[in-house]
Every structure is written in C-alpha cells, then in structure tokens.
Amino acid sequence: MITTGIHGVRNAVSVGVLGTGSYVPSHVVSNDEVGAPAGVDHEWIFGKTGIRNRRWAKPDEATSDLAVIAGRAALESAGIRAAQLSLIVVATSTPDQPQPPTASVVAAELGADHGTAAFDVNGVCTGFLFALTTAQSMLAATAAGGYALVIGADVYSRILNPEDRRTTILFGDGAGAVVIGPSTGEDRGVLANRLASHASDRHLIEVPGGGSRIPATAETLAEGLQYFTMNGRGVRDFVTAHVPPAIREFLAEHDLTPADLAHFVPHQANGRMLESLSAELGVDADRTWTTYEEFGNTGAASVPITLDRAARSGRLNAGDLVLLAGFGGGMALGLSLIRW
C-alpha cells in the first residue's frame, strides 16, 4: 500500500488539477443492440446495471484517438500548451498496440516537446488513479514543478465477447484527462493519495491470451482467450468487502469522514453497485457523480470522464473536497483526495 499527502510523503510542490477534458465516441449502442447476441434485453440490462446506453469506437478509432481529443480539451481548459508539458501519462489496458506506449502516440499528435516524458500505466479500471498519483508525485518532488497531462482511455469494445452477458453489456469506450501543475494555494490541489493491490484476487478480472504466457495463435483465438473475462459475483464481493473500509480509513487518517466530502467521483463499474457503495458510505446522490447510465463502464476513463462532467457542470466550487475512487482488475484500489 502506498499513501502520499497530508500524513504521508510531504510534497515539495503543491500540485492541483488545472483543467479537465473528456471524449466519448459518437456511436451510441443501446441495451437492445448489445443485449441481442448475449440473449438479454433492455429491461434485464437496466435492472441489473442501471445502464441505458454506451458509446463504442468506430472501426477506424483507436485508444490514442480518443485520448488525444480528451487531452486537447484538458489542455484548453487549463490554458496550457502541449509544449509546456513535462509528462504525459496514459492509463489504459487496451493500448493501440503492445509497443510503443500509447502515450507516445498521444504526445506526437498533441505536438508535445521532445523533452516531454510519455509513458503508459496499466492499472485496468484503477489505472487513472495510479497514473495521477505517479504524475503528481513526480511533479511534487521536482523543485521546478511543471505540468503533466494524465489521461485514462480505453476501447473495451475490441476485447468483449458479444455472447458473454456478464461483460459485453457493461462496457463502453472513452477517454478522460486532467492537466495537473502548481496549485494556486497552499491548501489546494491533490492533498493525498492511496494505492493498494489485492494480488491474490487478480484472477477475478483478466484477458488470458495475447501476452507472453499465452501468445496469440489461431488456437487461442478459436478458444476466445483474447476476450475480457470477469467473475461478476467475485468482483462485487471484493468491492463490498474492501472499498468502503478503505475509503473510511483513508479519510480518517486525515481527520475526515464521508460527511465532509462535497463530491464523490467513483469508478463507474455498475450502477447498482455504486448505489450500494454510496449508501454504505452515507454519501447521498447529490454528492455522488455518475455517468454510467449513458456511457457504461469506460475502464480507466470512467473516473476522469465523470470528473470532467462534474467540473463542467459549474457545481465544483473552490475549496470543495473531492474524493476520486477507482477499483478493479489486479485487484486494485486507488483514492485521491482533492481540494478544488
């Protein structure tokens, strides 16, 4: 477990969120469309998940294409040029290709300077929190400060088995981004982070084939080992057992409770799961931001997409406490506490 911030590693430079951006593909996929191959309909999907639609990338759209658009929006929001960036970090588990990093493609498309370091982070659905913590810690440890573009982007539609109702109904494609840099006040910005992995539960979410252990072959493709798989009941049990206690403990370390939060931005795993999570924490619907109903679960993009929607609503006010919470494959958990 890694914890940084208020009662953890002291930041040499205070780093805050300076701008946000997001992008979802234009192609809307309804419950009836996605449910037909899996043998379920809109009523079944909505009842189980709260999802009505999701967006899927067009055949000519890759993860980097979505990430570039979200990144541009975040840079514009922050008033920062790509050439000013010290870091570009892309969180994804669906990269354009195994090599080079998707972040390198994004850097080139955005016109980032040759001095900008660009790399990927694979923390599955928690990836954005891992990327944000990494970038924020690197900037905070540098006396000169600097700016970083942190993007969560995934195109899960390419790795879903259309006949598997446990997975294909849940996921959408998208990208969300933030620009972070020197904050405007000593008590503002990213106050604390926590990252943890429960590696013994890693089997709950996986793509078995296509890596060095099971390289892609005609046989593995015929077996469907290239598809995303998930033990839904096991994931729900993991979230119920680990996420609420971790959030309470994280906040308590900083003399806070869920009641002190002005905004809660969780990973959009499943609407019914989020309803239970918010109720368990005592964070009402007015403070819990969601996008799952129209976009589904967008993997590493779900937290930054939802944060961008919150930021652009005009309801995030200076000084508000915002908690970002990611959880998913690994099995991993990530938390970031921000003073807006």
Residues tagged active-site: 125, 267, 297
Angle at 282 between CA 277 and CA 288, to 5 degrees: 65
Q: Give φ, ψ of 218 to 5 degrees.
A: -60, -35
| Structure token digits, residue 311 | 């930021």
Task: List CB contacts of 36: < 8 A, sequence separation 6 or more.
Answer: none
Distance CA 217, CA 195 (A): 35
Are the C-beta atoms of 21 and 152 separated by less than 8 Å?
A: no
Task: List CB contacts of 209: < 8 A, sequence separation 6 or more.
Answer: 215, 216, 220, 221, 223, 225, 226
The owner of tokens 């129209």 is 294
Distance CA 311, CA 263 (A): 11
> H/E element holding 68?
helix 63-78
Per DSSP, the three-state class of 209 is: coil
